[in-house]
Structure 1
């Protein structure tokens, strides 16, 4: 194991000192890739392991890795890696599914509450010299609202725990779970028809990509609020923006987008839209946990030890 090389394909955290210390203590070296795709793949070619965030790795990319035994994602989703190709080449893929559950759940609740209470509109009104509630539009008591959760993993369950005492009811649609605990599990059509707020918490797959499109929005309640802190491509942005402009959708709050950053011009002057820069995962504690756990998976794989977070 001594002398092994680990390459960070795309550094998004402020530094990699946590990873470097752990890897060097185990007798390895850490290198951070830079440049274009060709440069990154050239550096990764003979690495024993990759630490990865957003950098896409296709079947062709994986075929060019001569020594790689593991690709450890810092985040939760693994849709940027060809899992079938990795499995065929004997490359383990791991994620860190539990590092930012609190952060994303509370960011979701913050976006939801800010949107329902029209906080951004109130801020803009006062800054423009206005006052009073007349310019805010209709605001409903939260306890009269039904929240529908698309997906019921760790994050969604914490969102439900926080909101349950505050809202009328929480509905859940997740075809991969047998039940929804204290919340009511429903079919997708029922969730759309009954929810005043629809919050997205499902992974990005072939089935979920683009599932919140014009047809889905039309099936939702008039004046629905849509929140997405999961994966950008699940929501067809152009359809959502059109629905906001027409008033079919009452409000939306987005932390993730198909293209990141999204085109600023597309978002300009869209009513009742609240956006944040894919920051729901972020806290100093969450980043440190992700770095430690992802690096721990690399070291375990190279030692031949069981992997706690193996996806494939």
Structure 2
């Protein structure tokens, strides 16, 4: 049996420094929310990179919001089992990452990083520096990106922005994403060529940037086999996950020149020893604007869920939404098994409650049901209704909003 929670003033706990504009989403409703970072019993947690693995998850915890895209620092499976919604903020940092991709694309093509480092070695040469610069600059002659082909793997929020802006820089752009959403398709320029296979993209691109999540299918997707398809001297940009690249194969590809340059936001001991690597200290989304956007988006999603039960951008439960009209609402997480909705509606009918609207969405072995009640319900009925919901086999958690 699950736990049914009657709503009250909600406590928000943060596990990292969260941008003030994000916290203000809660602070402007002080009668409804209390930010208490010492709370051992919060309604919701907002965090960035804090490692939650090993933390106890209190029975009162309803939601966790990651102000960013990755949720590897959150025990998602455990949260799912306990009916805790985990949110992330896809797209909130997209512009920051896009700018970093395009910055490093141009800078690496012009050998800017190596040139700057070489120039610093001239310190102490005094009046000879201008002559030394003129004599030495030829070793850093680079290439223009205009007219070159950029392959974009993954056309989500970041990939679509990169593709569109690369077109504005007079590049030819080819994209591959078998799971592209309708919303992204609308935002993507019609001039982005569609690769029918990822092998086609590998074969035609001078530069390749990857924007996909790490899964069993994408792990090590850049390897000896895929390098063999690519043009000699291809430049690869990885601002998604380090594990997308087989590092042993990458090292070999860089040594032979098959891969001309590897730009990665995920340096480690192995990567730092490679030839022609540009290691970025995980700066892809590190802008003040990005941190604020992620914090605001995370806070708004938590606030919407706590106040209405509506879910958007959850990584472990289905998105579900009902227009909130102020009617009594029952929101229940439960196992995705037959007759769960029937049992929930039967429990309501036992109290002569009419259903005004409802939604049921499933994701794997779990589901989420929201029911709006048409009647005016006396407050003293709510504890009994909560108990009735609690008796339903398969309910994980439920709230009366």
The bucket for the TM-score relative to the shorter chain is 0.7 to 0.9
CA 1:290–1:168: 2 relative to 1, 3 Å: closer
Q: Residue 207 of structure 1: CA displacement? A: 1.6
Describe the SS at the equivalent of 2:146: helix
What residue in structure 2 maps to residue 31 of structure 1? Answer: 37
Q: Residue 109 of structure 1: CA displacement? A: 0.2
Once residues 287 and 162 of structure 1 are traced to their aligned partners in structure 2, the CA distance between those partners, rounded to angstroms, is 22
Q: Residue 226 of structure 1: CA displacement? A: 0.5
Once residues 146 and 283 of structure 1 are traced to their aligned partners in structure 2, the CA distance between those partners, rounded to angstroms, is 28
Structure 1 unaligned segments of length 5 or more: list them.
Answer: 33-42
Once residues 254 and 36 of structure 2 are traced to their aligned partners in structure 1, the CA distance between those partners, rounded to angstroms, is 46
**Is 1:173 aligned to residue 168 of structure 2?**
no
Asked whether the equivalents of residues 8 and 50 of structure 1 are also in contact (C-alpha less than 8 Å), the reply is: yes
Tell me which structure has the larger Cα radius of gyration.
Answer: 2
Describe the SS at the equivalent of 1:149: strand
Asked whether the equivalents of residues 149 and 200 of structure 1 are also in contact (C-alpha less than 8 Å), the reply is: yes
Q: Choose which of 66, 71, 81 in structure 1 pairs with 2:64.
A: 71
Structure 2 unaligned segments of length 5 or more: list them.
Answer: 1-6, 123-131, 318-401
**Is 1:254 aligned to residue 258 of structure 2?**
no
Asked whether the equivalents of residues 51 and 294 of structure 1 are also in contact (C-alpha less than 8 Å), the reply is: yes
Q: Choose which of 280, 286, 300 in structure 2 pairs with 1:296.
A: 300
Q: Choose which of 267, 273, 280 in structure 1 pairs with 2:272.
A: 267
Asked whether the equivalents of residues 47 and 65 of structure 2 are also in contact (C-alpha less than 8 Å), the reply is: yes
What residue in structure 1 maps to residue 213 of structure 2? Answer: 203
CA 1:69–1:112: 2 relative to 1, 3 Å: same
The answer to which structure has the higher strand fraction is 2
Once residues 81 and 217 of structure 1 are traced to their aligned partners in structure 2, the CA distance between those partners, rounded to angstroms, is 34
What residue in structure 2 maps to residue 40 of structure 1? Answer: none
Q: Residue 29 of structure 1: CA displacement? A: 2.8
Q: Residue 247 of structure 1: CA displacement? A: 2.1
What residue in structure 1 maps to residue 13 of structure 2? Answer: 7
Alignment length (residue pairs): 289
After superposition, the CA RMSD in angstroms is 2.8
Describe the SS at the equivalent of 2:261: strand
Asked whether the equivalents of residues 271 and 277 of structure 2 are also in contact (C-alpha less than 8 Å), the reply is: no
What residue in structure 1 maps to residue 101 of structure 2? Answer: 108
What residue in structure 2 maps to residue 310 of structure 1? Answer: 314
Q: Residue 22 of structure 1: CA displacement? A: 4.2
CA 1:275–1:266: 2 relative to 1, 3 Å: closer
Describe the SS at the equivalent of 2:165: helix
CA 1:266–1:93: 2 relative to 1, 3 Å: closer
Once residues 299 and 137 of structure 2 are traced to their aligned partners in structure 1, the CA distance between those partners, rounded to angstroms, is 51
Once residues 16 and 196 of structure 1 are traced to their aligned partners in structure 2, the CA distance between those partners, rounded to angstroms, is 39
TM-score by length of 1: 0.81
**Is 1:162 aligned to residue 162 of structure 2?**
no
The 5-angstrom pairing of residues 113-128 of structure 1 reads 113-128=106-121
Once residues 116 and 19 of structure 2 are traced to their aligned partners in structure 1, the CA distance between those partners, rounded to angstroms, is 38
Once residues 167 and 224 of structure 1 are traced to their aligned partners in structure 2, the CA distance between those partners, rounded to angstroms, is 18
Describe the SS at the equivalent of 1:164: helix
TM-score by length of 2: 0.64
What residue in structure 1 maps to residue 45 of structure 2? Answer: 50
Q: Residue 161 of structure 1: CA displacement? A: 1.6
**Is 1:184 aligned to residue 193 of structure 2?**
yes
The 5-angstrom pairing of residues 209-224 of structure 1 reads 209-224=219-234
Q: Residue 280 of structure 1: CA displacement? A: 1.6
Q: Residue 266 of structure 1: CA displacement? A: 4.7
Asked whether the equivalents of residues 164 and 192 of structure 2 are also in contact (C-alpha less than 8 Å), the reply is: no
**Is 1:134 aligned to residue 138 of structure 2?**
yes
Asked whether the equivalents of residues 151 and 202 of structure 1 are also in contact (C-alpha less than 8 Å), the reply is: yes
What residue in structure 1 maps to residue 155 of structure 2? Answer: 152
What residue in structure 1 maps to residue 397 of structure 2? Answer: none
